[in-house]
Structure 1
Amino acid sequence: MVHARRRSERLERTPISMTTMSGQQFTERGITSLDKIQNFAPNISFGNVASNSGVANAAAVFIRGIGQTDFSFGVDPGVGMYVDGVYVGSAVGSVLSMVDIADVSVLRGPQGTLFGRNTIGGAVSVSSLTPNETLSAKADVKYGTANRINVRAFVNTPVAKNLYANFSVGSFMQDGYVNAPYQKNARSLGNQDSRVFKGALRWNPIEKLDIVLRGDWSRDRSNGAPFVTTGVMSPATMITINNANAGGTLNNCSGSGCYNSRYFSKNTNYGTSPDFSNLTSWSTSGTIDYHLTDYIDLKSITAYRKSLGKFAQDRDASPIGINAVYDNYAEKQFSEEFQINGRVLHNRLHYAAGVYYFSQSGQDLNPTNFYLLSLQSGGYFHDTNYAAYAQATYDVTSKLHITAGVRYTEDNKSFTPNQYYTSGRAPYVTIPPGTRIVPYQTYHNNNARWTPMVNVAYQVTHELMAYATFSQGFKGGGFTQRLTNIAAAPPSFRPETVNSFEGGLKFYGLNHRLRISAAGFYTFYNDVQLLVADDTNIGPYYTNAGKARIPGFELESQYAIGDGWTAIGSIGMTDAHYTKLNGGVQGLTLSSPFVLVSKWTANLGLAKKIDLGKAGTLTPRVDATYRSRYNANLNAIPYAQLMQPKYITVNMSARWVSESGRYNFMVGLDNATNEKFMAWGSYSGSFGNIQKSFDRGRQWYIQGGVSF
């Protein structure tokens, strides 16, 4: 049962392309991080990308080729992240550690007529466990590769009559895997050091009224993102990093100032400037559900979230001091959403409507050091978003259902850049310290859009449904946050939009043993917002690159084979390509690949539940994931050096559960094929260096748990 359309429906009767996994399914696979959803849902990429800073927890989510790699306040995510109905406005801290998850749903395509915030590419919706009247508890401990120690505990308890609470805590620790000999205490990069605390209180004073208060606190203290330098592509800019090497070439120069292959590595970062990532965030929300009548439900969702962080990165990964960045980050958001859901005309018309307000503000100040100069980039921001939406489904007959929806959005962004030069090395740089890069004033980028949706669904037989959907999506404009060259104003860009066409089939039969979902789509993507760089500027810039077309399909299946055997699998194709590029765009051609988007994704899982009688059950499991090649480069060029070849990862595990269900034990091997694929990559056009971050590779673990 799913609630994708604000009412309880069977998955196979919901005319939406979506993947849903329960918290129990994640537990059975030994998964403790939200980004692993990409291994089970087609046409989604869920990366943890350091982007243009050293942050170690920043989600880069793409669905059907549409997403965003940067957490910059100047640009919105292409995929909306929702936790218990609340939109999470920043990618920072969005790679959630799982401690009390009820389920996770991936909804593909624009979702604006049912969600508070406009979401152009799709949505990832996370639901936490809701307090109830049953006293229960569970806990588990995992130990594995590189001193991995994960501890989780959860308690649900009645407090008083009609008052219930739950609490959860998680600690996630693991050593790093990229050597950093010149860092303080020679700390390895890529470690995990995070804590999570969550709590919820549910009050049901009368039968018609339900109030849930939630709160959480998390802290992440990482040594830094696990990146290395693997090459230099522009030797002309680097052959004379100090005067002693004047006239030399990239690979035959000598001396401490020569930036060459001595610093290239796949497992060692030679940087001497700080690499670290510290983030603390907390949030609270209140959800009020009022069952006004048997036909009308009212809901209010009020939420507040705050994050504070400091991140640093030595971007050349060498002792020379070519480029080091720092982020002083602070963000807070407030949102309010009122919803009404109901049914009329003898239950033939179901409707949902709402109004939404979102306010986000904060700062991201970026002290940046280059070899010849230093500056402060970044600034202060304030975004507001107003929306109203409505959607209704009319049952023309018992088999034919027509849905229509519309959304109105106002998206207003304000940016106050606090950007100036702090020092320069004479005689190469003569700009006086304190010189403003852009005037210190507030700039605005305001936009508004109507976006409709129409869906037709037909129940062909009791087991088979067919549907077709047209929907529009919209993502507001914004600003380039990080600047280095003097300009009259920070570069801005327009909104991007999509027109999406989708058709699908859903089947549930063979005595409820087989479920199949299939969908085909064609997306017209206009005014694509893209992060690009060129050889004449230091740093990446956002622009409306042009137009694109994205055809593709998804096929998912779950099959209860029998005798304890179950199989799940999916395959997805996203054929994203540009059809028009604007004249000012550099470094792109019509054949340029999209970032972090594989044309083909697939997964296959097989499990066997073995009944051991009074000794309980044993479930061996194998899950394989395939991704075709993708461009890991965030800044457009050079593709050949930053293309990740196709790869397959295989996870294997065996889980034992006692007869009573109270005790469980698990052993597992993740990435058994030891694939060291690129999680992300970056190219600096000004300095010519290529950064890459690789997966840790093969990991083993053991886990034990208890519940009652």
Structure 2
Amino acid sequence: MDKADFRSRFWGPAAVLAVSVSGFALSTSVALAQAEDAAAANAGAPRTSIETVTTQAQKVETNIQSTPVAVTAISGDTLQRSFAQDLRDLSKNTPNVMLEPVGAFQNASAFFIRGFGSTDIESAGDPGVGIFVDGVYQARSSTGLSDMLDVEAVEVLRGPQGTLFGRNTIVGAVLLNHKKPDVDEFGVSGSVLAGNYGRIDIKGVVNVPIVEGVAAVRLAMKSTNFDGFYTNTVDNKPYGGNERLTFNPSLGVVGENWDLTIRGEFARIRDDSYANVQYSQCPGTNGVPNVGAFQTVPLISVLYKGNAGLDACGIAPSKESFTVSHDNTSGRGSDFDVWGITGELNYNIPDVGTLSYVGNYRNTEEDVYNDFDATDLPVYMTRRQQDHWQTSHELRFASEFSDTVDFVAGLYYFKQRYYMEQDTFGWLFDAGFGNALRNALGVNTGTTTTFDDLNPNAGGFGATTQTNESWAAFLNVNYHITDTITLFGGLRYTEESKDFETCAPSAVNDRINRLCNTTPGLVGSTYYNSLLQLAPGDSNWSNVSPKAGVNWQATDDLFVYGSWTRGFRSGGFNGRCGTPFSCTPFDPEVADSYELGFKWDPMQELRINLTGFWLEYKNQQVPLIRQSPGGSGGGNETVTANAGSARAKGVELEVTAVPTEGLKMWGALGFLDAKRTSFCADVDGVGAFPGAPGSSCNPDDEILLTNPNPIANPNGYGYFPVDASGLPLTRAPKWTLSAGLSYEVPVGDLGFVEFAADWRYQSRSLQAAAGIPPGSTAGIQNYNGVLITPWRDNAHVFNGSVTFNEADDRYRVSFFVKNITNVRYVQSITAVAALFNFMQPNEPRHWGVEISFDL
């Protein structure tokens, strides 16, 4: 059968497959999600085939279609043409991936791949999904959603990548690479984007060869200004906006057998605090609230304001309103100052291999206010001031050692340190709060204290510091048995240590002079809380992470592979612990991933990639927000516990196609079956001990506290773990589907108009940022009929755009709309024990016009 006959017979069912995955799908990603921009290769001409895509998944550049890793690569041009603001915009291109904000902090990332990730913003912990910028591991999630600027490509690698990437890539990695200086040609590009909600983005890039063919400088700048999607009902002003300035200078030098790139990073971020929205539980029937069953914050609101205070109860996401009630309307914000420098040197030894060095230093200073009670009353607020720095050094050697063996070997060193001061303040922290609450409830206390008598600035001061040091040696080898069959394997040895000291926010600390209580008597501690006796911690861990597999280039167009990889994330300390029991270290977690996939290009116009996986998680680190006795944060603490094990299995399908000239289509389907196989932890904090022996799932971890009422509670009270294995995993939807298309229509000799749109569907998923008590997943029916649950409902999101491209692709004018149908859903939820819940909805419908040039 000749190729023309093959196309005619194959294209019919192939088109049905592509369209079924794409559906009626629409795509702002304008170009194919896994392809480079066609206009760059052939300016002014519509695409006629799928371009070759390369990846850095193995630390050397390889064709993505012959790389044994589940990876989605997205070019910088594609990101620009899809109007991507930050990494969260990549979720629509990748199956079984959720790149979302944490929720409580403006640009902190909560990245999940195949049902696992991390929602912790503390520098004491390590992200579950590693972010690498120009080859450098980013230790903090709090800047994971910074603005993207002058990006060459972004790659999303699914599954553990420990044999080659960073310290903590237990479930996957996101690689963001910026464009390098061009030593041959002068260039200038830029854009202006204006949209609703006061959005104005200005970008500019200048590339100047200093010595043609030898050295060049590149300067990239972006200004972001945005009022925010919310309106604050307290002062009727916009809320949740951005004010950012990003500047990335770089220098490139090219020699006969070497090249050097030095990059700078500067960012000034003056955002609003995150716009937390009330999602509290206010039970009742027939429209009558049961005030006695309210959580504490909405109870205060109702007692203080009467029926008008019911606005502190949970609300349903609404297309008509996007409002918050925050009392901290002035002097509050989310301020970051980031600067860093990265150097990359590559030296090619002819006929031997390439020696590479990547070194980095990065400093982040932050000052963040949050009104967590999300009401117009001064009930519960925090301020976090933090200084964080990190440095890393990686020396790597890549060699095609022989006709049958090639390898990458290296050494890696990493160190970070942070110091954070936290103020927690509001009515809840005033010594008279209990009397004021009882008086408001009509309980005789013998005092006349009211809420108005409370000090809104009452609170406690705390401080935490940690130094983290890690080094590793790694090796990844390919052994080519034949021209088509290759065995591959890898090994990584890691050692890591953490020195941790803390004093929990408390009134016994010196808030004015920013000092922890130094009452004598506790030996060997620098920072501690004299009431809780919190001592510093020092611990270290080591690990060997292997990888093994085989791949087969069955034909020129078909690549098949299978692999087993072990991922590792080190142990650590709880950066927000509030009791002696929770300030102890938690242990490392380990994941074994089994993967089988094929990558197939049956013709130039069609690409089909399919991956199946099985993931076994052991000693899983799970975040919990629970009640604590005398702890920080109004009697609550946030901790990480090794809660048990979990497993995930699933399938990922990616299809790209160019069925006819100028028409581009892509689709992605992810199926995920993820669940806990065991989960034994104290998920609800201090409580009465069960009466029957053995009712705890791990009696060895029970902690009995002082019994305040031996008659009413003869078994005492304290911490005791329960079997919570029935709780679903966070951010692990069963289905993720996305698809898109774009179509280029010539406009005489002027250029062409490109119509594009995309669609993403995500099924129901648990969105709570931390562990929740058993039984609460069903939700609570509020008095007003709103069901308060920790679930995000399934949703379809559509985006669309139209762009005019000048014939030589020098000028471009675009109009885009995101979330066309204005669908609303709960994006993130935080349940703070018995105090309150707050949440953040997704972004509503918004639009923009962009004018750009590239000369």
- Common fold: TM-score over 0.5: yes
For residues 306-334 of structure 1, the C-alpha deviation after alignment (integer angstroms, 9 at most, x for no partner) is: 00011111111123333211111110000
TM-score normalised by L of structure 2: 0.77
What's 2:731 paired with?
A: 596
- How many Å separate the matches in 2 of 1:682 and 1:252? 19
What's 1:40 paired with?
A: 93
- How many Å separate the matches in 2 of 1:123 and 1:259? 47
- How many Å separate the matches in 2 of 1:403 and 1:187? 58
What's 1:526 paired with?
A: 618
Q: Which AA in structure 2 matches 1:385?
A: S
For residues 259-307 of structure 1, the C-alpha deviation after alignment (integer angstroms, 9 at most, x for no partner) is: 9523245533223246521111111011110002233100111100000
1:507–1:490 Cα change, 3 Å: same
Aligned equivalent of 1:155, options 206, 209, 217: 206
CA contact (8 A) 1:515 1:559 kept: yes
Give the superposition deviation at 1:255.
3.3
1:449–1:251 Cα change, 3 Å: closer
What's 2:152 paired with?
A: 102
For residues 200-234 of structure 1, the C-alpha deviation after alignment (integer angstroms, 9 at most, x for no partner) is: 10112x31121110001012111111221022368
- How many Å separate the matches in 1 of 2:276 and 2:612? 37
What's 2:230 paired with?
A: 178
What's 1:3 paired with?
A: 56
Where do 1:122-521 residues align within 5 Å? 122-132=172-182, 133-161=184-212, 162-182=214-234, 187-204=237-254, 206-232=255-281, 254-256=303-305, 260-264=309-313, 265=315, 267-273=322-328, 275-346=332-403, 348-369=404-425, 371-373=427-429, 374-422=459-507, 436=530, 438-439=532-533, 441-485=535-579, 487=580, 490-510=583-603, 512-521=604-613
Give the superposition deviation at 1:383.
0.5
Give the 3-state SS of the residue equivalent to 2:154 in structure 1: strand
Give the 3-state SS of the residue equivalent to 1:146 in structure 2: coil
- RMSD of aligned Cα (Å): 2.4
- How many Å separate the matches in 1 of 2:167 and 2:821? 40
CA contact (8 A) 1:595 1:633 kept: yes
Q: Which is higher, the Rg of structure 1 or of structure 2?
A: 2
TM-score normalised by L of structure 1: 0.92
Give the superposition deviation at 1:548.
0.3
Give the superposition deviation at 1:675.
1.5
What's 2:13 paired with?
A: none
Give the superposition deviation at 1:417.
0.3
- How many Å separate the matches in 2 of 1:322 and 1:560? 57
| Greater helix proportion | 2
1:565–1:423 Cα change, 3 Å: same
For residues 418-455 of structure 1, the C-alpha deviation after alignment (integer angstroms, 9 at most, x for no partner) is: 3352169xxxxxxx998535546531131100010002
- Structure 1: any 5+ residue segments left out of the alignment? 243-248, 425-431
1:541–1:252 Cα change, 3 Å: closer
Q: Which is further off, 259-268 or 10-19?
A: 259-268
Where do 1:17-56 residues align within 5 Å? 17-51=70-104, 55-56=105-106
Corresponding residue pairs, total: 685
Give the superposition deviation at 1:513.
1.0
Q: Which AA in structure 2 matches 1:532?
A: L
CA contact (8 A) 1:240 1:258 kept: no
Q: Which AA in structure 2 matches 1:705?
A: S
CA contact (8 A) 2:769 2:830 kept: yes
- How many Å separate the matches in 2 of 1:169 and 1:463? 41
1:412–1:661 Cα change, 3 Å: same
1:280–1:20 Cα change, 3 Å: same
Whose relative contact order is higher, 1 or 2, with alpha carbons under 8 Å and at least 6 apart? Answer: 2
1:119–1:437 Cα change, 3 Å: farther
Give the 3-state SS of the residue equivalent to 1:480 in structure 2: coil
Q: Which AA in structure 2 matches 1:124?
A: V
| Greater strand proportion | 1
1:259–1:331 Cα change, 3 Å: farther
CA contact (8 A) 2:803 2:814 kept: yes
Give the 3-state SS of the residue equivalent to 2:239 in structure 1: coil
Give the superposition deviation at 1:635.
2.3
Give the 3-state SS of the residue equivalent to 2:91 in structure 1: helix
1:115–1:240 Cα change, 3 Å: closer
- How many Å separate the matches in 2 of 1:588 and 1:690? 24
Give the 3-state SS of the residue equivalent to 1:344 in structure 2: coil
- How many Å separate the matches in 1 of 2:360 and 2:533? 34
Q: Which AA in structure 1 matches 2:574?
A: T
1:199–1:437 Cα change, 3 Å: farther
Identity among equivalent pairs (%): 25
Q: Which AA in structure 2 matches 1:618?
A: V
- How many Å separate the matches in 2 of 1:237 and 1:88? 46
What's 2:11 paired with?
A: none
What's 1:647 paired with?
A: 795
Q: Which AA in structure 2 matches 1:539?
A: E
Q: Which AA in structure 2 matches 1:475?
A: R
- How many Å separate the matches in 1 of 2:334 and 2:620? 30
CA contact (8 A) 2:130 2:166 kept: no
